[in-house]
Structure 1
Amino acid sequence: MSVFPRVIPVLLVSEGYLVKPVKFSGERYIGDPINAVRIFNEKQVDELVVLDIDAAVKGTDPDHRLIEEIASEAFMPVAYGGGVRTSEQARRITGIGIEKIVLNTAAFETPALVTEIAELLGSSSTVVSIDAKRRITGGYETYSRRASRKTGLSPVDAAKRAVELGAGELIVSSIDRESTFSGYDLKLVASVAEAVEVPVIALGGASGLNDFAAALQAGASAVAAGSLFVLNGKHRAVLITYPGQAEIRSLRPS
Protein backbone atom coordinates (compact mmCIF):
# COMPACT_ATOMS: atom_id res chain seq x y z
CA MET A 1 0.00 0.00 0.00
CA SER A 2 1.34 3.44 -0.97
CA VAL A 3 2.34 5.71 1.88
CA PHE A 4 2.05 8.75 -0.35
CA PRO A 5 -1.01 11.00 -0.17
CA ARG A 6 -3.63 10.56 -2.87
CA VAL A 7 -3.84 13.56 -5.19
CA ILE A 8 -6.96 13.16 -7.32
CA PRO A 9 -7.98 15.08 -10.45
CA VAL A 10 -11.72 15.69 -10.74
CA LEU A 11 -13.20 16.00 -14.22
CA LEU A 12 -16.63 17.63 -14.51
CA VAL A 13 -18.68 16.70 -17.55
CA SER A 14 -21.93 17.93 -19.03
CA GLU A 15 -23.59 16.40 -22.10
CA GLY A 16 -20.38 14.50 -22.82
CA TYR A 17 -18.09 17.52 -22.70
CA LEU A 18 -15.48 18.51 -20.15
CA VAL A 19 -16.59 21.74 -18.45
CA LYS A 20 -15.58 23.92 -15.51
CA PRO A 21 -18.06 26.00 -13.51
CA VAL A 22 -17.13 28.51 -10.79
CA LYS A 23 -18.77 28.13 -7.38
CA PHE A 24 -21.09 25.55 -9.00
CA SER A 25 -22.52 28.24 -11.32
CA GLY A 26 -22.25 28.52 -15.09
CA GLU A 27 -19.80 26.42 -17.01
CA ARG A 28 -16.87 26.95 -19.30
CA TYR A 29 -16.21 24.48 -22.08
CA ILE A 30 -12.82 22.86 -21.56
CA GLY A 31 -12.66 20.10 -24.14
CA ASP A 32 -12.88 16.36 -24.59
CA PRO A 33 -12.83 14.33 -21.35
CA ILE A 34 -11.27 11.35 -23.13
CA ASN A 35 -8.31 13.47 -24.19
CA ALA A 36 -7.91 14.60 -20.57
CA VAL A 37 -7.95 10.97 -19.40
CA ARG A 38 -5.22 10.08 -21.90
CA ILE A 39 -3.03 12.93 -20.69
CA PHE A 40 -3.56 11.91 -17.08
CA ASN A 41 -2.49 8.40 -18.09
CA GLU A 42 0.78 9.84 -19.37
CA LYS A 43 1.24 11.76 -16.14
CA GLN A 44 0.78 8.54 -14.13
CA VAL A 45 -2.20 9.74 -12.12
CA ASP A 46 -3.11 7.16 -9.49
CA GLU A 47 -6.85 7.86 -9.29
CA LEU A 48 -9.50 9.90 -11.11
CA VAL A 49 -13.00 11.19 -10.32
CA VAL A 50 -15.49 11.93 -13.11
CA LEU A 51 -18.72 13.74 -12.24
CA ASP A 52 -21.63 14.50 -14.56
CA ILE A 53 -22.77 17.75 -12.99
CA ASP A 54 -26.14 18.05 -14.73
CA ALA A 55 -27.54 14.51 -14.76
CA ALA A 56 -29.31 14.78 -11.40
CA VAL A 57 -30.71 18.24 -12.17
CA LYS A 58 -32.01 17.19 -15.58
CA GLY A 59 -33.12 13.75 -14.41
CA THR A 60 -31.07 11.99 -17.06
CA ASP A 61 -29.47 8.56 -16.74
CA PRO A 62 -25.71 8.06 -16.59
CA ASP A 63 -24.04 8.42 -19.99
CA HIS A 64 -22.95 4.82 -20.45
CA ARG A 65 -21.27 5.52 -23.78
CA LEU A 66 -19.01 8.11 -22.17
CA ILE A 67 -18.43 5.91 -19.13
CA GLU A 68 -17.39 2.99 -21.36
CA GLU A 69 -14.95 5.24 -23.22
CA ILE A 70 -13.43 6.51 -19.99
CA ALA A 71 -13.15 3.01 -18.51
CA SER A 72 -11.49 1.68 -21.67
CA GLU A 73 -8.96 4.54 -21.80
CA ALA A 74 -8.10 5.02 -18.12
CA PHE A 75 -5.04 3.26 -16.73
CA MET A 76 -6.01 4.30 -13.20
CA PRO A 77 -9.02 3.53 -10.94
CA VAL A 78 -11.96 5.80 -11.73
CA ALA A 79 -14.85 6.95 -9.54
CA TYR A 80 -17.98 8.08 -11.34
CA GLY A 81 -20.94 10.14 -10.17
CA GLY A 82 -23.95 11.68 -11.85
CA GLY A 83 -27.46 10.45 -12.45
CA VAL A 84 -27.13 7.23 -10.48
CA ARG A 85 -30.55 6.58 -8.98
CA THR A 86 -30.65 2.78 -8.65
CA SER A 87 -28.36 0.01 -7.48
CA GLU A 88 -28.77 -1.65 -10.89
CA GLN A 89 -27.29 1.45 -12.55
CA ALA A 90 -24.39 1.29 -10.10
CA ARG A 91 -23.86 -2.39 -10.85
CA ARG A 92 -23.84 -1.73 -14.59
CA ILE A 93 -21.33 1.12 -14.23
CA THR A 94 -18.91 -0.92 -12.14
CA GLY A 95 -19.39 -3.80 -14.56
CA ILE A 96 -18.07 -1.52 -17.29
CA GLY A 97 -14.88 -1.08 -15.28
CA ILE A 98 -15.48 1.88 -12.97
CA GLU A 99 -14.20 1.22 -9.45
CA LYS A 100 -16.34 3.56 -7.31
CA ILE A 101 -19.77 5.14 -7.44
CA VAL A 102 -20.15 8.72 -6.18
CA LEU A 103 -23.55 9.77 -4.87
CA ASN A 104 -24.67 13.30 -4.07
CA THR A 105 -28.30 14.14 -4.84
CA ALA A 106 -29.47 10.55 -4.45
CA ALA A 107 -27.67 10.23 -1.12
CA PHE A 108 -29.90 12.96 0.29
CA GLU A 109 -33.15 12.34 -1.58
CA THR A 110 -33.11 8.52 -1.46
CA PRO A 111 -30.62 7.70 1.31
CA ALA A 112 -31.51 4.00 1.27
CA LEU A 113 -29.68 3.84 -2.07
CA VAL A 114 -26.37 4.36 -0.27
CA THR A 115 -27.02 1.22 1.74
CA GLU A 116 -28.18 -0.74 -1.31
CA ILE A 117 -25.05 0.10 -3.26
CA ALA A 118 -22.77 -0.53 -0.28
CA GLU A 119 -24.34 -3.96 0.20
CA LEU A 120 -24.06 -4.73 -3.52
CA LEU A 121 -20.59 -3.36 -4.25
CA GLY A 122 -19.01 -2.88 -0.83
CA SER A 123 -18.48 0.26 1.21
CA SER A 124 -15.09 0.86 -0.37
CA SER A 125 -16.84 1.38 -3.72
CA THR A 126 -19.54 3.66 -2.28
CA VAL A 127 -18.64 7.35 -2.03
CA VAL A 128 -20.90 10.17 -0.87
CA SER A 129 -20.13 13.71 -1.98
CA ILE A 130 -21.03 16.49 0.45
CA ASP A 131 -21.30 19.97 -1.08
CA ALA A 132 -21.25 22.64 1.61
CA LYS A 133 -21.59 26.41 1.76
CA ARG A 134 -21.05 28.80 4.62
CA ARG A 135 -24.15 30.40 6.09
CA ILE A 136 -24.15 34.16 6.56
CA THR A 137 -25.25 33.55 10.14
CA GLY A 138 -22.44 31.07 10.75
CA GLY A 139 -21.94 27.38 10.25
CA TYR A 140 -22.56 25.48 7.03
CA GLU A 141 -25.44 24.19 4.95
CA THR A 142 -25.20 21.22 2.60
CA TYR A 143 -26.78 21.18 -0.85
CA SER A 144 -27.79 18.74 -3.56
CA ARG A 145 -28.79 19.13 -7.20
CA ARG A 146 -25.72 21.12 -8.17
CA ALA A 147 -25.95 23.36 -5.11
CA SER A 148 -29.52 24.41 -5.91
CA ARG A 149 -31.36 22.61 -3.09
CA LYS A 150 -30.70 22.74 0.64
CA THR A 151 -30.62 19.37 2.38
CA GLY A 152 -31.31 20.69 5.87
CA LEU A 153 -28.19 18.95 7.20
CA SER A 154 -24.89 20.33 8.37
CA PRO A 155 -21.80 18.80 6.72
CA VAL A 156 -20.98 16.89 9.92
CA ASP A 157 -24.49 15.48 10.22
CA ALA A 158 -24.52 14.62 6.52
CA ALA A 159 -21.17 12.87 6.87
CA LYS A 160 -22.22 10.86 9.90
CA ARG A 161 -25.43 9.76 8.20
CA ALA A 162 -23.62 8.78 5.02
CA VAL A 163 -21.24 6.56 6.97
CA GLU A 164 -24.09 5.02 8.95
CA LEU A 165 -25.79 4.22 5.65
CA GLY A 166 -22.69 2.45 4.38
CA ALA A 167 -20.48 4.96 2.58
CA GLY A 168 -16.82 4.03 2.79
CA GLU A 169 -15.45 7.37 1.65
CA LEU A 170 -16.56 11.00 1.53
CA ILE A 171 -15.78 13.89 -0.79
CA VAL A 172 -16.18 17.21 1.02
CA SER A 173 -16.49 20.09 -1.38
CA SER A 174 -16.67 23.81 -0.61
CA ILE A 175 -19.17 25.55 -2.89
CA ASP A 176 -17.70 28.94 -1.89
CA ARG A 177 -14.17 27.91 -2.90
CA GLU A 178 -14.80 25.90 -6.06
CA SER A 179 -12.60 27.12 -8.96
CA THR A 180 -11.44 30.16 -6.98
CA PHE A 181 -7.84 29.02 -6.34
CA SER A 182 -8.24 30.48 -2.85
CA GLY A 183 -7.38 27.33 -0.89
CA TYR A 184 -9.51 24.66 0.71
CA ASP A 185 -11.98 25.52 3.45
CA LEU A 186 -9.86 23.94 6.17
CA LYS A 187 -12.44 24.43 8.89
CA LEU A 188 -14.96 22.49 6.82
CA VAL A 189 -12.49 19.71 6.06
CA ALA A 190 -11.37 19.39 9.68
CA SER A 191 -14.90 19.31 11.08
CA VAL A 192 -15.92 16.41 8.86
CA ALA A 193 -12.64 14.50 9.20
CA GLU A 194 -12.91 14.66 12.98
CA ALA A 195 -16.49 13.37 12.93
CA VAL A 196 -16.03 10.17 10.90
CA GLU A 197 -13.64 7.25 10.66
CA VAL A 198 -13.73 6.82 6.87
CA PRO A 199 -11.39 8.59 4.43
CA VAL A 200 -12.29 12.20 3.62
CA ILE A 201 -11.27 13.77 0.32
CA ALA A 202 -10.96 17.57 0.32
CA LEU A 203 -12.20 19.40 -2.78
CA GLY A 204 -12.74 23.01 -3.80
CA GLY A 205 -10.23 25.86 -4.03
CA ALA A 206 -6.82 24.23 -4.35
CA SER A 207 -4.11 26.38 -5.90
CA GLY A 208 -1.07 24.16 -5.39
CA LEU A 209 1.02 21.94 -3.16
CA ASN A 210 0.75 24.22 -0.13
CA ASP A 211 -3.03 23.86 -0.16
CA PHE A 212 -2.71 20.08 -0.48
CA ALA A 213 -0.41 20.00 2.52
CA ALA A 214 -2.74 22.21 4.56
CA ALA A 215 -5.77 20.01 3.83
CA LEU A 216 -3.89 16.85 4.77
CA GLN A 217 -2.74 18.53 7.96
CA ALA A 218 -6.39 19.46 8.67
CA GLY A 219 -7.34 15.79 8.57
CA ALA A 220 -8.12 14.98 4.94
CA SER A 221 -7.03 11.51 3.84
CA ALA A 222 -6.68 12.68 0.24
CA VAL A 223 -6.87 15.87 -1.78
CA ALA A 224 -8.70 16.53 -5.03
CA ALA A 225 -8.84 19.39 -7.49
CA GLY A 226 -10.51 20.27 -10.76
CA SER A 227 -9.49 23.69 -12.08
CA LEU A 228 -5.91 23.35 -10.83
CA PHE A 229 -5.33 20.39 -13.13
CA VAL A 230 -7.09 21.69 -16.25
CA LEU A 231 -6.53 25.47 -16.18
CA ASN A 232 -3.17 27.22 -16.05
CA GLY A 233 -1.77 30.69 -15.57
CA LYS A 234 -3.26 34.11 -14.94
CA HIS A 235 -5.61 33.80 -17.90
CA ARG A 236 -6.70 30.27 -16.96
CA ALA A 237 -5.72 28.77 -20.29
CA VAL A 238 -6.70 25.14 -20.78
CA LEU A 239 -3.70 22.96 -19.94
CA ILE A 240 -3.79 19.53 -18.31
CA THR A 241 -1.22 19.36 -15.50
CA TYR A 242 -0.40 17.14 -12.53
CA PRO A 243 2.37 17.27 -9.91
CA GLY A 244 5.38 15.02 -10.30
CA GLN A 245 5.99 12.05 -8.05
CA ALA A 246 8.67 13.92 -6.10
CA GLU A 247 6.21 16.73 -5.36
CA ILE A 248 3.58 14.26 -4.19
CA ARG A 249 6.13 12.49 -2.00
CA SER A 250 6.94 15.85 -0.41
CA LEU A 251 3.38 15.94 0.97
CA ARG A 252 3.97 12.84 3.07
CA PRO A 253 3.87 13.71 6.79
CA SER A 254 7.34 13.62 8.33
Structure 2
Amino acid sequence: MLRPRLIPCLLLRNGGLVKTRQFRDATYVGDPINAVRIFNEKEVDELLTIDIDATVRGQEPNYDLISQLAAECRMPLTYGGGVATPEQVQRIIKLGVEKVALSSAVIANPALIQDAARIVGSQSIAVVADVRRRADGSFEAFTHSGTRATGKSPEAIARLATEAGAGEFIVNDIDRDGMLAGYDLALVARCRAETSLPMTILGGAASLDDMAGLFAQHPIIGAAAGSLFVFKGKYRAVLINYPDRRRKEALLSRHHELVQS
Protein backbone atom coordinates (compact mmCIF):
# COMPACT_ATOMS: atom_id res chain seq x y z
CA MET A 1 0.00 0.00 0.00
CA LEU A 2 1.33 3.42 -0.91
CA ARG A 3 1.91 5.81 1.97
CA PRO A 4 3.37 9.29 2.45
CA ARG A 5 7.16 9.42 2.69
CA LEU A 6 9.62 11.88 4.25
CA ILE A 7 12.74 11.76 2.09
CA PRO A 8 16.10 13.48 2.71
CA CYS A 9 17.90 14.51 -0.49
CA LEU A 10 21.70 14.49 -0.60
CA LEU A 11 23.48 16.43 -3.35
CA LEU A 12 26.86 15.04 -4.37
CA ARG A 13 29.82 16.87 -5.90
CA ASN A 14 33.35 15.47 -6.23
CA GLY A 15 32.52 12.79 -3.68
CA GLY A 16 31.35 15.32 -1.08
CA LEU A 17 27.98 16.40 0.24
CA VAL A 18 26.91 19.90 -0.85
CA LYS A 19 23.85 22.13 -0.63
CA THR A 20 22.71 24.64 -3.22
CA ARG A 21 20.32 27.56 -3.56
CA GLN A 22 18.34 27.61 -6.79
CA PHE A 23 20.88 25.15 -8.19
CA ARG A 24 23.74 27.63 -7.61
CA ASP A 25 26.35 28.40 -4.95
CA ALA A 26 27.06 24.82 -3.93
CA THR A 27 28.41 24.79 -0.36
CA TYR A 28 30.29 21.80 1.06
CA VAL A 29 28.49 20.46 4.12
CA GLY A 30 30.20 17.15 4.84
CA ASP A 31 30.79 13.52 4.00
CA PRO A 32 27.83 11.74 2.36
CA ILE A 33 28.76 8.37 3.86
CA ASN A 34 28.65 9.86 7.34
CA ALA A 35 25.28 11.46 6.53
CA VAL A 36 23.93 8.06 5.45
CA ARG A 37 25.08 6.52 8.73
CA ILE A 38 23.23 9.20 10.69
CA PHE A 39 20.09 8.75 8.61
CA ASN A 40 20.31 5.00 9.22
CA GLU A 41 20.14 5.64 12.95
CA LYS A 42 17.16 7.94 12.46
CA GLU A 43 15.27 5.29 10.44
CA VAL A 44 14.38 7.49 7.49
CA ASP A 45 11.81 6.30 4.94
CA GLU A 46 13.98 6.65 1.84
CA LEU A 47 17.09 8.47 0.68
CA LEU A 48 17.48 10.38 -2.59
CA THR A 49 21.03 11.11 -3.82
CA ILE A 50 21.87 13.26 -6.85
CA ASP A 51 25.29 13.90 -8.40
CA ILE A 52 24.86 17.48 -9.59
CA ASP A 53 27.98 17.53 -11.82
CA ALA A 54 28.00 14.23 -13.71
CA THR A 55 25.67 15.22 -16.54
CA VAL A 56 27.06 18.74 -16.84
CA ARG A 57 30.58 17.37 -17.22
CA GLY A 58 29.56 14.48 -19.45
CA GLN A 59 30.83 12.00 -16.90
CA GLU A 60 29.61 8.52 -16.07
CA PRO A 61 28.20 7.94 -12.60
CA ASN A 62 30.75 7.51 -9.83
CA TYR A 63 30.19 3.79 -9.34
CA ASP A 64 32.68 3.51 -6.47
CA LEU A 65 30.81 6.15 -4.46
CA ILE A 66 27.43 4.66 -5.37
CA SER A 67 28.64 1.26 -4.19
CA GLN A 68 29.79 2.75 -0.87
CA LEU A 69 26.48 4.56 -0.38
CA ALA A 70 24.44 1.46 -1.19
CA ALA A 71 26.53 -0.76 1.10
CA GLU A 72 26.06 1.66 3.99
CA CYS A 73 22.41 2.51 3.38
CA ARG A 74 19.76 0.57 5.33
CA MET A 75 16.81 2.32 3.69
CA PRO A 76 15.64 2.36 0.05
CA LEU A 77 18.13 4.41 -1.98
CA THR A 78 17.55 6.37 -5.20
CA TYR A 79 20.50 7.62 -7.25
CA GLY A 80 20.51 10.16 -10.08
CA GLY A 81 23.21 11.92 -12.10
CA GLY A 82 25.07 11.09 -15.31
CA VAL A 83 22.89 8.10 -16.21
CA ALA A 84 22.31 7.88 -19.96
CA THR A 85 22.04 4.21 -20.94
CA PRO A 86 20.12 1.10 -19.88
CA GLU A 87 23.44 -0.60 -19.15
CA GLN A 88 24.35 2.12 -16.64
CA VAL A 89 20.96 1.76 -14.99
CA GLN A 90 21.45 -1.99 -14.67
CA ARG A 91 24.95 -1.58 -13.23
CA ILE A 92 23.70 0.85 -10.58
CA ILE A 93 20.81 -1.41 -9.58
CA LYS A 94 23.24 -4.33 -9.23
CA LEU A 95 25.25 -2.22 -6.76
CA GLY A 96 22.26 -2.30 -4.39
CA VAL A 97 20.43 0.89 -5.34
CA GLU A 98 16.64 0.51 -5.39
CA LYS A 99 15.75 3.21 -7.95
CA VAL A 100 17.64 5.15 -10.62
CA ALA A 101 16.51 8.71 -11.36
CA LEU A 102 16.65 9.81 -15.01
CA SER A 103 16.40 13.42 -16.17
CA SER A 104 18.24 14.97 -19.12
CA ALA A 105 18.79 11.60 -20.82
CA VAL A 106 15.05 10.91 -21.14
CA ILE A 107 14.45 14.35 -22.68
CA ALA A 108 16.96 13.50 -25.38
CA ASN A 109 15.89 9.86 -25.64
CA PRO A 110 12.45 9.04 -24.18
CA ALA A 111 12.90 5.38 -25.20
CA LEU A 112 15.47 5.09 -22.40
CA ILE A 113 12.63 4.80 -19.88
CA GLN A 114 11.10 1.78 -21.57
CA ASP A 115 14.47 0.21 -22.40
CA ALA A 116 15.72 0.50 -18.83
CA ALA A 117 12.41 -0.64 -17.33
CA ARG A 118 12.52 -3.73 -19.50
CA ILE A 119 15.83 -4.68 -17.87
CA VAL A 120 15.36 -3.70 -14.22
CA GLY A 121 11.58 -3.28 -13.89
CA SER A 122 9.43 -0.16 -13.89
CA GLN A 123 9.56 0.09 -10.10
CA SER A 124 13.28 0.87 -10.35
CA ILE A 125 12.93 3.81 -12.77
CA ALA A 126 12.16 7.35 -11.57
CA VAL A 127 11.86 10.27 -14.00
CA VAL A 128 12.89 13.70 -12.70
CA ALA A 129 11.70 17.09 -13.92
CA ASP A 130 13.81 20.04 -12.70
CA VAL A 131 11.50 23.00 -13.25
CA ARG A 132 11.29 26.79 -13.14
CA ARG A 133 8.24 29.02 -13.20
CA ARG A 134 7.88 31.24 -16.27
CA ALA A 135 6.72 34.85 -16.11
CA ASP A 136 3.23 33.81 -17.28
CA GLY A 137 2.86 31.39 -14.37
CA SER A 138 3.49 28.22 -16.37
CA PHE A 139 6.46 25.94 -15.72
CA GLU A 140 9.34 24.74 -17.87
CA ALA A 141 11.72 21.83 -17.34
CA PHE A 142 15.48 22.37 -17.43
CA THR A 143 18.41 19.95 -17.64
CA HIS A 144 22.14 20.01 -16.88
CA SER A 145 21.70 21.40 -13.36
CA GLY A 146 19.20 24.00 -14.50
CA THR A 147 21.34 25.47 -17.29
CA ARG A 148 19.50 24.19 -20.38
CA ALA A 149 15.88 24.94 -21.15
CA THR A 150 13.95 22.08 -22.72
CA GLY A 151 10.85 23.90 -23.92
CA LYS A 152 8.84 21.14 -22.23
CA SER A 153 6.45 21.54 -19.34
CA PRO A 154 6.69 19.28 -16.29
CA GLU A 155 3.13 18.19 -17.09
CA ALA A 156 4.35 16.90 -20.46
CA ILE A 157 7.21 15.04 -18.81
CA ALA A 158 4.80 13.55 -16.28
CA ARG A 159 2.71 12.20 -19.14
CA LEU A 160 5.84 10.91 -20.88
CA ALA A 161 7.00 9.12 -17.74
CA THR A 162 3.58 7.53 -17.29
CA GLU A 163 3.19 6.39 -20.90
CA ALA A 164 6.76 5.05 -21.15
CA GLY A 165 6.42 2.88 -18.06
CA ALA A 166 8.40 4.65 -15.33
CA GLY A 167 7.68 3.75 -11.73
CA GLU A 168 7.88 7.22 -10.18
CA PHE A 169 7.83 10.90 -11.09
CA ILE A 170 9.99 13.36 -9.15
CA VAL A 171 9.43 17.13 -9.37
CA ASN A 172 12.40 19.29 -8.34
CA ASP A 173 11.55 23.00 -8.01
CA ILE A 174 14.64 25.02 -9.00
CA ASP A 175 13.19 28.35 -7.85
CA ARG A 176 12.64 27.04 -4.32
CA ASP A 177 15.77 24.91 -4.01
CA GLY A 178 17.45 25.81 -0.72
CA MET A 179 15.21 28.84 -0.20
CA LEU A 180 13.13 27.38 2.66
CA ALA A 181 10.01 29.04 1.24
CA GLY A 182 7.65 26.04 1.24
CA TYR A 183 6.51 23.82 -1.60
CA ASP A 184 4.82 25.31 -4.67
CA LEU A 185 1.48 23.53 -4.32
CA ALA A 186 0.23 24.85 -7.65
CA LEU A 187 3.12 23.09 -9.38
CA VAL A 188 2.35 19.88 -7.51
CA ALA A 189 -1.33 20.03 -8.46
CA ARG A 190 -0.54 20.52 -12.16
CA CYS A 191 1.74 17.49 -12.22
CA ARG A 192 -0.54 15.34 -10.09
CA ALA A 193 -3.35 15.92 -12.57
CA GLU A 194 -1.25 14.42 -15.37
CA THR A 195 -0.01 11.18 -13.82
CA SER A 196 -1.12 8.39 -11.56
CA LEU A 197 2.48 7.43 -10.80
CA PRO A 198 3.84 7.72 -7.25
CA MET A 199 5.22 11.26 -6.99
CA THR A 200 7.96 12.87 -4.92
CA ILE A 201 8.21 16.65 -4.51
CA LEU A 202 11.53 18.37 -3.82
CA GLY A 203 12.34 22.05 -3.30
CA GLY A 204 11.33 24.54 -0.65
CA ALA A 205 10.44 22.64 2.51
CA ALA A 206 11.38 24.66 5.60
CA SER A 207 9.54 22.67 8.25
CA LEU A 208 7.41 19.63 8.92
CA ASP A 209 4.43 21.98 8.62
CA ASP A 210 5.28 22.40 4.94
CA MET A 211 5.20 18.63 4.55
CA ALA A 212 1.91 18.46 6.45
CA GLY A 213 0.49 21.06 4.05
CA LEU A 214 1.63 18.98 1.09
CA PHE A 215 0.03 15.85 2.55
CA ALA A 216 -3.18 17.78 3.20
CA GLN A 217 -3.64 18.38 -0.52
CA HIS A 218 -1.98 15.19 -1.80
CA PRO A 219 -2.09 12.52 0.92
CA ILE A 220 -0.18 9.81 -0.95
CA ILE A 221 3.04 11.52 -1.99
CA GLY A 222 6.75 11.73 -1.18
CA ALA A 223 7.86 14.92 0.58
CA ALA A 224 11.58 15.37 -0.07
CA ALA A 225 13.90 18.04 1.31
CA GLY A 226 17.56 18.95 1.41
CA SER A 227 18.12 21.99 3.63
CA LEU A 228 15.46 20.93 6.14
CA PHE A 229 17.35 17.73 6.93
CA VAL A 230 20.88 19.15 6.64
CA PHE A 231 20.69 22.55 8.37
CA LYS A 232 19.38 23.68 11.73
CA GLY A 233 18.27 27.16 12.80
CA LYS A 234 18.27 30.54 11.10
CA TYR A 235 22.06 30.54 10.80
CA ARG A 236 21.95 27.29 8.78
CA ALA A 237 24.33 25.38 11.02
CA VAL A 238 25.12 21.99 9.51
CA LEU A 239 23.27 19.34 11.50
CA ILE A 240 21.91 16.16 9.96
CA ASN A 241 18.42 15.73 11.38
CA TYR A 242 15.12 13.92 10.87
CA PRO A 243 11.94 13.82 12.94
CA ASP A 244 11.91 11.23 15.71
CA ARG A 245 9.30 8.49 15.68
CA ARG A 246 6.83 10.42 17.84
CA ARG A 247 6.87 13.54 15.65
CA LYS A 248 6.73 11.49 12.48
CA GLU A 249 3.80 9.40 13.75
CA ALA A 250 1.93 12.60 14.65
CA LEU A 251 2.43 13.90 11.12
CA LEU A 252 1.39 10.63 9.51
CA SER A 253 -1.62 10.21 11.80
CA ARG A 254 -2.83 13.55 10.47
CA HIS A 255 -2.36 12.11 6.97
CA HIS A 256 -4.43 9.05 7.94
CA GLU A 257 -7.28 11.30 9.08
CA LEU A 258 -7.22 13.07 5.71
CA VAL A 259 -7.35 9.79 3.79
CA GLN A 260 -10.28 8.56 5.88
CA SER A 261 -12.27 11.83 5.61
TM-score w.r.t. structure 2 length?
A: 0.94
Counterparts of 1:217-232 in structure 2, within 5 Å, are: 217-219=216-218, 221-232=221-232
Counterpart CA distance in 1 for 2:2 and 2:89 is 27
2:38 corresponds to which residue? 39
2:156 corresponds to which residue? 157
Q: Which amino acid aligns with 1:250?
A: A
1:250 corresponds to which residue? 250
Counterpart CA distance in 1 for 2:136 and 2:2 is 42
2:201 corresponds to which residue? 202
Aligned Cα root-mean-square deviation (Å): 1.2
Counterpart CA distance in 1 for 2:122 and 2:132 is 26
SS at match of 2:55: helix
SS at match of 1:196: coil
SS at match of 1:91: helix
TM-score w.r.t. structure 1 length?
A: 0.96
Counterpart CA distance in 1 for 2:151 and 2:164 is 17
Write out the 4+ residue segments of structure 1 that deviate beyond 3 Å after TM superposition: none
Query: What are structure 2's unaligned runs of at least 5 residues?
Result: none
Superimposed CA distance per residue, residues 44-68 of structure 1 (whole angstroms, 9 cap, x where no aligned partner): 1121011001100000000011011
2:169 corresponds to which residue? 170
How far residue 232 of structure 1 moved from its aligned partner, in angstroms, is 1.1
Q: Which amino acid aligns with 1:49?
A: L
Identity of aligned residues (%): 47
SS at match of 1:187: helix
How far residue 107 of structure 1 moved from its aligned partner, in angstroms, is 1.6
Query: 1:57 and 1:207, CA in 2 relative to 1: closer, same or farther beyond 3 A?
Result: same
How far residue 119 of structure 1 moved from its aligned partner, in angstroms, is 1.2
Deviates more, 1:155-164 or 1:180-189: 155-164
Is this contact kept in 2: 1:177–1:204, CA < 8 A?
yes
Counterpart CA distance in 2 for 1:71 and 1:155 is 29
How far residue 105 of structure 1 moved from its aligned partner, in angstroms, is 1.0
Is this contact kept in 2: 1:189–1:218, CA < 8 A?
no
Is this contact kept in 2: 1:177–1:205, CA < 8 A?
yes
Count of equivalent residues: 253
2:51 corresponds to which residue? 52
